[in-house]
């Protein structure tokens, strides 16, 4: 045993003495090249039957028994080594004690006994036998139960693969695929409503690692945290049944020179019936809107096409007889100034001064309703006068006298915009009602013009008791407004339905393109059939039934280009 005399050792030197050995993980490309060069088990349509399941388990038990016997012999040597280490540790120098302590603290988290023993052996060869080796665990009987569950999962995976290959008429010999071991899936297996094994995912992974250490599972391939790992079952253990050849495939009867290549059906052979497509021609008639269902936005168009005799209320300005130094008027003051004496308003209406009147912008009224200082009564009077002015165009060219207009103004001031006939509504409610009234009066004006109907005088027309159709009063336009609201609601529903149909159509087109691209990649050898099938089943299940037809169609196009 070599003795170290140096008493002071720097931390950097200690770190350099004990490098951490990282597992040599091959890349996917290297693994593919290795699998192509190796002569593993090959089959056309491999599945696991009850017979091959029993044969595989028998081979597993023989392999494990041989492995355990070897491990027991190694453990005897380890015990002998550890006894020697215990004797040596009685006479260690302080430096050796520190070195052994640092080694153990640096590598105690390594769970693989074989990897730990390799590092410990290298250390002991360099500094003497002062670190104990770990005993290697044998494969216990419980691990056999977990291996059976992995075989059960593998059985379902091979059955699904054989079904896909048969559906696409793929019959060529290829290496038997790896088993995908998903610890969550294995832990959730049930039999007669009871879990097959009551174990956690961590326990399953520990048994998987033990099987890998024993050589039962090989070629570990990580696929991400959301998928299971792929591993090969030792070819000396695995037995499968080939549905194509009706033979059992194992290491004893495996052919050394398997044939390779995909067999596709003859392109000249008809594989489906081609039906004549009938052209469908749809006649669309343009039906005009009925009474009471005009298109949205009519009031906006109407207001834009009339000339305004009211100044812009949103812009600041000064009256002609006010000094420049006087404070500008607020919006409420400007709206209050618009209120006229009823007699003056009636005279102007009789003269036809408001036949081209543009009403106040509804946004200005909303601002006043929520933030202005006008009283409810003043606001109501201003709104009624604005509404009467905007309705005056209905009686354009008619002889409506001042007294009739005065009676109309007085009646509306008494009966309109009142709760229970006594209290004036709040300003924001008045604005909401005004928007409805503006639509209704605009609708009525167009109805009178289109039907060449002479309207009643304003006082009679705005009488709220004229609710019947034959009375031809403003109150009856409430039904047209209700139809308009229903039309607007149906229009929104139809709009959403149209958007949904458009989205569905575009999604179908994009889905078809994506499936065709994946099929082309498969035909060019860039992916296997299982990956294609799983992709379509997960992302585009509606194309799954026609996947075979799509494959043959694209294959024909590719052959046509080559020829």
Query: What is the mean predicted confidence (pLDDT) over 269-296?
Result: 37
Across the beta sheet with 247-249, what order do the strands follow? 46-47, 240-242, 247-249
- Phi and psi at residue 247, in whole multiples of 5°? -130, 155
Give the model's confidence band at 307: pLDDT under 50 very low, under 70 low, under 90 confident, else very high: very low
pTM for this entry: 0.46
Cα–Cα distances (Å) from 140 to 66, 67, 153, 211, 274, in that order, read 13, 11, 21, 10, 62
- pLDDT at position 421 is 61
> Model confidence at 547, in pLDDT bands (50, 70, 90)?
confident
Angle 437-366-378 (CA atoms, 0-180°, nearest 5)?
75
Quote the pLDDT of residue 295: 37
**DSSP tag of 240:** E
* pLDDT > 80? residue 180: yes
Q: How is residue 44 written in tokens?
A: 């056309």
pLDDT tens per residue, range 11-51: 333 333 333 333 333 334 344 444 433 447 888 889 999 99
**Spatial distance between the Cα atoms of 346 and 521, rounded to a whole number of angstroms:** 83
Task: Using the Cα atoms of residue 308, residue 313, residue 314 and residue 318 in order, give the sign of their dihedral.
Answer: positive
* Whether residue 264 has pLDDT greater than 70: no
CA 256, 160, 183 angle in degrees (round to 5)?
Answer: 95
Beta-bridge partner residues of 241 = 47, 248
Longest dimension (CA), the chain: 131
Task: Report the alpha-carbon distance of residue 413 to residue 421 in Å, rounded.
Answer: 11
pLDDT for the residue 173: 84
3-class SS at 423? Answer: strand
- Pick 266 or 250 by higher pLDDT: 250
pLDDT (0 to 100) of residue 457: 83
Please give the DSSP secondary-structure letter assigned to residue 497. Answer: H
Nearest CA to 13 out of 184, 149, 127 is that of 127
Q: What is the pLDDT of residue 460?
A: 85
- β-pairing, 240-242 with 46-47? antiparallel
Supply the pLDDT for residue 420. 62
Residue with tokens 């024993």: 214
Ordered by start, the domain boundaries in the chain are 141-249, 298-317+327-464, 489-562
pLDDT greater than 60 at residue 314: no
* DSSP β-bridge partners for residue 240: 249
Residue 444, Cβ density class (10 Å: 0-12 exposed, 13-18 middle, ≥19 buried): buried
Average pLDDT in the chain: 77
């Amino acid at each position: 045993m070599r003795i170290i005399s140096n008493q002071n050792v720097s931390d950097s030197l200690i770190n350099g003495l004990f490098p951490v050995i990282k597992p040599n993980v091959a890349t996917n490309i290297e693994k593919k090249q290795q699998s192509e060069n190796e002569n593993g088990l090959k089959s056309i349509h491999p599945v696991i039957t009850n017979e091959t399941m029993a044969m595989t388990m028998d081979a597993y038990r023989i392999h494990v028994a041989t492995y355990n016997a070897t491990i027991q012999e190694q453990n005897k040597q380890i015990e002998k080594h550890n006894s020697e280490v215990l004797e040596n540790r009685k006479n260690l120098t302080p430096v050796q004690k520190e070195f052994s302590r640092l080694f153990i603290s640096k590598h105690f988290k390594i769970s693989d006994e074989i990897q730990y023993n390799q590092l410990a052996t290298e250390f002991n060869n360099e500094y003497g036998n002062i670190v104990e080796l770990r005993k290697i665990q044998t494969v216990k009987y419980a691990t056999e139960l977990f291996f059976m569950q992995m075989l059960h999962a593998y059985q379902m995976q091979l059955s699904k693969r054989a079904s896909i290959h048969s559906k696409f008429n793929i019959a060529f010999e290829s290496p038997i695929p790896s088993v995908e071991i998903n610890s969550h899936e294995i832990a959730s297996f049930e039999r007669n409503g009871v879990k097959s094994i009551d174990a956690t995912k961590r326990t399953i992974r520990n048994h998987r690692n033990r099987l890998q250490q024993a050589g039962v599972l090989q070629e570990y391939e990580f696929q991400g945290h959301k998928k299971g790992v792929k591993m090969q079952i030792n070819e000396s253990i695995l037995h499968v049944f080939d549905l194509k050849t009706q033979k059992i495939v194992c290491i004893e009867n495996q052919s050394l020179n398997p044939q390779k290549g995909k067999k596709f059906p003859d392109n000249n052979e008809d594989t489906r019936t081609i039906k004549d497509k009938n052209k469908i021609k749809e006649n669309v008639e343009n039906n005009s809107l009925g009474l009471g269902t005009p298109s949205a936005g009519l009031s906006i168009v109407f207001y834009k096409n009339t000339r305004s005799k009211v100044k812009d209320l949103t812009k600041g300005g000064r009256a002609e007889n006010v000094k420049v130094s006087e404070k500008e008027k607020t919006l409420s003051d400007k709206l209050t100034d618009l209120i006229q004496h009823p007699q003056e308003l009636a005279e102007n209406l009789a003269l036809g001064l408001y036949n081209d009147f543009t009403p106040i912008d509804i946004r200005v009224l909303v601002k006043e309703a929520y933030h202005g200082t006008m009283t409810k009564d003043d606001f109501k009077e201003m709104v009624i006068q604005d509404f009467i002015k905007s309705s005056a165009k209905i009686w354009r060219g008619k002889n409506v006298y001042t007294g009739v207009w005065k009676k109309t103004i007085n009646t509306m001031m008494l009966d309109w915009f009142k709760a229970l006939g006594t209290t004036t509504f709040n300003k924001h409610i008045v604005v909401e009602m005004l928007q409805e009234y503006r639509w209704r009066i605009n609708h009525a004006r167009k109805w009178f013009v289109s039907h060449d109907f002479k309207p009643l005088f304003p006082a009679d027309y705005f009488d709220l008791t004229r609710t019947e159709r034959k009375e031809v009063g403003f109150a009856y336009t409430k039904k047209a407004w209700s139809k308009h609201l229903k039309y607007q609601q149906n229009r929104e529903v139809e709009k959403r339905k149209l958007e949904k149909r458009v989205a569905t159509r575009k999604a179908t087109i994009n889905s078809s393109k994506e499936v065709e691209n994946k099929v082309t990649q498969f035909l060019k050898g860039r992916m296997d059939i299982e990956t294609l099938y799983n992709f379509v089943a997960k992302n585009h299940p509606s194309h799954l039934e026609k996947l075979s037809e799509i494959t043959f169609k694209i294959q024909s196009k590719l052959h046509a280009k080559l020829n």
